[in-house]
Amino acid sequence: MELIEHGRHAIDLLTTPLHLGLGSRARPVQGFAWDPEVLGAYAAAVAADGGEGRMVMIFDGEGAGDHWERHPAGDEVVVCLRGSVKVVRPVDGVEGASDEVVLGPGEATVNAAGEWHAVDMDGPARILTITAGVGTEHRRRM
């Protein structure tokens, strides 16, 4: 995993996230993977940005999300680019009771800092996320 200082080429946000840091810096995250070692390296590389750093990614998917997540360091923006997605937030932390927002192409919602949420994709869908770069927590969805 490496933050590229001067990315003046096309970036595929499906495979290479973009880190937005202090001083309005934007750097591609080359070699990113959802692997504990890579995530640790990413967190260390962007630690100086603290809660102000953001990761921008695009995800393709289908079906219900398999985990809950939250971002204590800051708000997250979820934008539907294609298909239909439902952002689910447990009410008072109870998984059975939820607040749901359905998004179509071009629509967005904000998950407040520290708020547990999951994303369900109704059929093939694509989302863009802008997420606090450090401190994200996950737990298995029942």
- For 128, the token pair is 């863009």
Domains in the chain and their CATH numbers?
2-136 (2.60.120.10)
Distances (CA, A) of 137 to 23, 57, 67: 26, 17, 10
Instruction: Say yes or no to pLDDT of 19 above 80.
Output: yes
Instruction: Say yes or no to pLDDT of 97 above 70.
Output: no
Average pLDDT (79-87) is 98
Query: Can you give the pLDDT at residue 95?
Result: 59
Q: What digits encode the pLDDT tens for the residues 101-138? A: 999 999 999 999 999 999 999 999 999 999 987 888 88
Handedness of CA 59, 87, 141, 46 (dihedral sign): positive
pTM: 0.90
CB contact set of 132 (below 8 Å; sequence gap of 6+): 51, 53, 54, 55, 71, 72, 73, 74, 75, 76, 113
Instruction: Say yes or no to pLDDT of 41 above 70.
Output: yes
Query: Can you give the pLDDT at residue 113?
Result: 94
Instruction: Say yes or no to pLDDT of 94 above 80.
Output: no
Instruction: Say yes or no to pLDDT of 92 above 80.
Output: no
